Amino acid sequence: MTAFLLSWPSLSLADLGDPRPRRQGSRPDVSEQLRTIEAGVAQALGSLIRSAPIDGQVDQRWYWAAPLFLDQQADPSVTELLLAPKAASHWEGNAPGEGFLAHLAEARSMADFGPSALGRPPGDLAEVLAEVALGGPAQCAMRAISAVTGLPLAHASTVSNAAWIAAAFRSFFNAPEVTGIVAGARLPEAESEEGAGRYWRDVVRHAIDGSLQAVLDEHAHVLRDWLGHLSLDDEQKRIDAAEDIARVVAEALEVRTSSFRGDIPATIPTAGTSRWRNIG
């Protein structure tokens, strides 16, 4: 379920983790941004973990459940949209996989039960969620769509199209050639039994190091004009632009491992003719 965290377009984390400067002046470096975001996340988590157990086994579900609870507090309509009976279509279209449906059902149950269903929170909860807020694909997609179309972060079109893009990123980062690059860059100190099984955190750090937010911002800006959305003077035009941009971004992320085969000319001594011989 922690991989589900990367696909969940959290309104709360998208707002808390916005790296773009909101006032004039120099842009802070990444470590400073993360410290600021972590402080905001810790404050937001305060009411959730105040009554949580302080002993017993650490409950890893906090990583993906906490954004759900934060979103319920910030704007319940967004959570209701994403957890509706047919909400899987936002991520996987009209034929969602059984695995994703199971994840969505578990998220729905967690939202119904609330924080009381969880055990002791991880000590690095605010730190991890700060990284997701800054570099999580879903959050970056929300901010890019909102900025380029003028739709609010909490708008249904912003949220649903961010989910679509996030699902495409999930498939992209699961491709073997991409997995090799991301996991291969893991720091030696992360090569523990716990760290080796947390590829999702490698993905977030890779997105932060590669400035995924800047990449999506620029790409969405170019796509808006290239797709002909030059005038966004009413809500429907903004919605149409958001859907077109999400579609093209998702299609671009649908990479597959290539298979190569070589064909070279070879002379076959049959009746003096020259033919192609396949060597692939």
Cβ neighbourhood burial of 8 (10 Å; 0-12, 13-18, 19+):
buried
Contact 120, 63 (CB under 8 A): no
Buried b (16+ CB within 10 A) or exposed e, 23-37: eeeeeeeeeebbebb
Span 86-112, average pLDDT: 86
Taking Cα atoms as reference points, which of 119, 81, 80, 87 lies closest to residue 101?
87
Extract the tokens encoding 194: 């716990």
The per-residue pLDDT for range 13-42, each reduced to its tens digit, is 999 999 876 666 667 789 999 999 999 999
Read off the pLDDT of each residue in 110-120 and give the average, rounded to a whole number.
92
Tell me how far CA of residue 158 lies from CA of 11, 74, 153, in angstroms: 10, 16, 6
> What per-residue confidence (pLDDT) applies to 214?
94
Domain residue spans of the chain: 2-255
* 224 vs 242: CA distance, rounded Å: 8
Q: What is the pLDDT of residue 193?
A: 43
pTM of the model as a whole: 0.85
Task: State the residue for tokens 């649903």.
Answer: 160
